Amino acid sequence: MKVLFIHTHYIFRGGEDSVVANQIELLRSHGITAEVLIFNNESRKPHLDQLQLPFNFRSYRLTKRKIRAFKPDVVHIHNLHFAGSASVIYAVKHFKLPIVSTLHDYRLLCPTGNLFYNEKLFMDSINQRFPVEAIKQGMFMNSYSSSLWLSFSMLLHHLLGTWNKVDRFIVYSEFAKNIFEQSKLKSIADRMVIKPNFSFTYPDGQIEKDESYYLYVGTLTYDKGIPAMLEAFADNGIFLKVVGEGPLVPLIKGYGQHYPNIRYMGRKPKEDVFNMMEHASALIFPTLWFEPFGMVIAEAFSKGTPVIASDLGNIKNMVDDGYNGLRFETNNDKDLRAKVEYYEALPDEEKAIYRENARKTYQKKYSPALHADKLISIYNSVLKT
């Protein structure tokens, strides 16, 4: 079997990019020939890509060229927004190939992509064919015109039945599937399969453990709950290391200047991130939106690192309070501080149980061995239709 992955990088890299890389490596280890076609939102002409949101002719040509050269049996689409665009689907169907698409967010339902705006959840667009309120508030790129253009593109492809050309959608949880079932796109729910992500792990790190610290890894944006996390650690004397990149870097550095226990570490190679996870007391996952899957949570569990996470959406199904981590009230810095201080005060013997349970969770739910057969079976199911 030959599988072509198609993916668009955002400006700030995140969990989606890890998912694509992991799946390609997993398939190759099982004798599947896999290649990837990458589009990039950091192109030299981003405004041209935005203009071609309804149909990107360059992406259409590149997709057809790649298919002719590689001759895949199945095409697995991850992110098309926005440099890829829905034109990729039409290019694939030109060759009458089956399409599997992973839904990493809610981009098909709302211009926000994550059902989050102005530091709170935004659900108004779910059942609106034309998301008027999202346009009025300029929710895409803080621009009325860009929001209007994206919304027009979304409406156009809904009317054209573009998403009906996808043979199978992968979602990460029952929670995410339920959102689509209750939305204007409930017609695609019967083609959805639930398959959580998995994580590879790396050998034990070579760095020495220094002081006790907690760790955040991810994109540095408001929807990730960064401000509440910073407030929770401000002047509590407990070290927090922040890894990643994004528009909130100045805010984090500002906190670090006032509170020396908060340290911005910048962007790190994956191997270094896993080393830091291995030695962290716990991972902090303070998200504010309905993340379909927390990739970094699975990665932390692979190193036996507990997670202290928001009590929100599917994350509640990943972090079992009092077993492999703790949950706190979403966006409540005081509750997060209390949970960190509670965990910090636990005897080492109890912390060791949390770590053992985190590792057990990884082995039971998120290890590569559990996911290869499932992914290949999804491909086989669309090849038979």
What domains are there in the chain, each with its CATH number?
A: 2-198+368-383 (3.40.50.2000), 213-366 (3.40.50.2000)
In this prediction, residue 252 carries a pLDDT of 98
CB 121 within 8 A of CB 289: yes
What strand order describes the sheet that includes 325-328?
A: 262-266, 239-243, 213-217, 283-285, 307-310, 325-328
Whether the bond into 82 is cis, omega within 30 of 0:
yes
3-class secondary-structure state, position 311: coil
User: Which residues in the chain belong to E strands, given as ranges?
Assistant: 2-9, 33-40, 74-77, 99-102, 116-117, 120-121, 168-171, 192-194, 213-217, 239-243, 262-266, 283-285, 307-310, 325-328
54 Cβ contact partners less than 8 Å away, ≥ 6 residues apart: 85, 86, 152, 153, 156, 157
Instruction: Tell me the longest C-alpha to C-alpha distance in the chain.
Output: 62
**Mean pLDDT (10-residue bins), the chain, 385 residues:** 95 82 96 96 72 94 98 97 95 98 96 94 95 95 93 96 97 95 96 95 60 94 97 96 96 97 95 94 98 94 97 96 98 98 97 98 94 95 86
